[in-house]
């Protein structure tokens, strides 16, 4: 059974850096084709694709956010970490961790999501 | 960046009826790399269709996807009460961002 769970702060101040961790089970990065990434959803709004890291350490970012993002993986811990700098109230959203299909970037499995609020 | 436009914004139907949801892309989606997701209130989305027409594991056959190029459709025949939700399309066929549509809310009439 594949599960993903997000963890991190629920409240950050403007200009601070956000660090979110996705801890997963039921698969590993030793499997070719695996990708784990992040998708966010502001309250009442649509989904926005953020970033992804693949089994071979290939990393892809949303160009509109790229300058603020870093995605890394800890294979030994089955974790993916997303950092986003210079947080702004418009970044308030539920952040979902997501596992892709094999060799394809659709989301086959979703975490439950974690709401991050940016406010002073 | 490929922009996906979903229509209608809201679709009001009764259980047992047929639902047709549209997703139009601003440019051709390579290899029909288009997915559909269902999201219920307070929940994460879940995969319904990938590759434009392949049903995800556990998805009943009343759900079907079709289309290619710039025009895609999700059809739900014989709506069940649990099908009422928001549906999003996503393209994953080009370089990032792997964009989503704005969603179609399927509500009970």
The 10s digit of each residue's pLDDT in B29-78 is 988 899 999 999 999 999 999 999 999 999 999 999 999 999 999 999 99
Query: What is the per-residue pLDDT across A61-95, written as a single tens digit (0 to 9) for each?
Result: 999 999 999 999 999 999 999 999 999 999 999 99
- The verdict on B13 touching A (C-beta cutoff 8 Å) is no
Q: What pLDDT, on the 0 to 100 scale, is given for residue B96?
A: 84
In degrees and rounded to multiples of 5, residue B21 shows phi and psi of -110, 140
Pick the residue of B92, B101, B102, B103 with the most A CBs within 10 A to test the interface with A by mutation. B92
B59–chain A Cβ distance below 8 A for any pair: no
Measured between alpha carbons, how far is A102 from A117 in angstroms, rounded to an integer? 32
Q: Is the model's pLDDT at A103 over the cut of 90?
A: no
> Judging by DSSP bridges, how do beta strands B104-108 and B10-13 pair with one another?
parallel
Cα atoms in the Cβ-side hemisphere of radius 13 Å centred on B56: 17
Residue among A36, A46, A69, A97 with most chain B CBs within 10 A, to mutate: A46
* Confidence at residue B50, expressed as pLDDT on a 0 to 100 scale: 97
Tokens at A96, concatenated: 């979902």
Chain A touched by B46 (CB under 8 Å): yes
pLDDT value of residue A105: 87
Percent of chain B exceeding pLDDT 90 equals 92
Category of B9 on φ-ψ map: left (φ > 0), alpha (ψ -120 to 50) or beta: alpha
Question: Does residue B101 register a pLDDT over 90?
Answer: yes
In chain B, which residues have their Cβ closer than 8 Å to the Cβ of A64? 97
pLDDT in tens, B8-32: 999 999 999 999 999 999 999 988 8
Q: Is the dihedral of CA B34, B5, B45, A9 positive or negative?
A: positive
Neighbours of A116 (CB within 10 A): 21
Nearest to A20 by CA among A42, A50, A47: A50
pLDDT of residue B98: 94
Q: CA B26, CA A97: separation in Å to the nearest integer?
A: 27
Q: Are B50 and B29 in contact (CB under 8 A)?
A: no
């Amino acid at each position: 059974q594949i599960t993903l769970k997000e963890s991190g702060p629920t409240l950050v101040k403007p200009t601070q850096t956000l660090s979110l961790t996705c801890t997963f089970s039921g698969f590993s990065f030793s499997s070719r084709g695996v990708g784990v990434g992040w998708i966010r959803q502001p309250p009442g709004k649509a989904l926005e694709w953020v970033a992804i890291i693949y089994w071979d350490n290939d990393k892809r970012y949303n160009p509109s956010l790229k300058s603020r993002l870093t995605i890394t993986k800890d294979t030994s811990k089955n974790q993916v970490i997303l950092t986003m700098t210079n947080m702004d109230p418009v970044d308030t959203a539920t952040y979902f961790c997501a596992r892709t299909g094999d060799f394809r970037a659709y989301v086959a499995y979703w975490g439950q999501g974690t709401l991050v609020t940016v406010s002073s | 960046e490929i922009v996906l436009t979903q229509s209608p914004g809201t679709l009001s139907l009764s259980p047992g009826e047929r639902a047709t949801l549209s997703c139009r892309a601003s440019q051709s989606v390579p290899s029909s790399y288009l997915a559909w997701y269902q999201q219920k209130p307070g929940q994460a989305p879940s995969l319904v269709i990938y590759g434009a027409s392949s049903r995800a594991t556990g998805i009943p056959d009343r759900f079907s996807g079709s289309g290619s190029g710039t025009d895609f459709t999700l059809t739900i025949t014989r709506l069940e009460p649990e099908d009422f939700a928001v549906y999003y399309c996503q393209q994953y066929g080009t370089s990032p961002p792997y964009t989503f549509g704005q969603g179609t809310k399927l509500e009970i009439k």
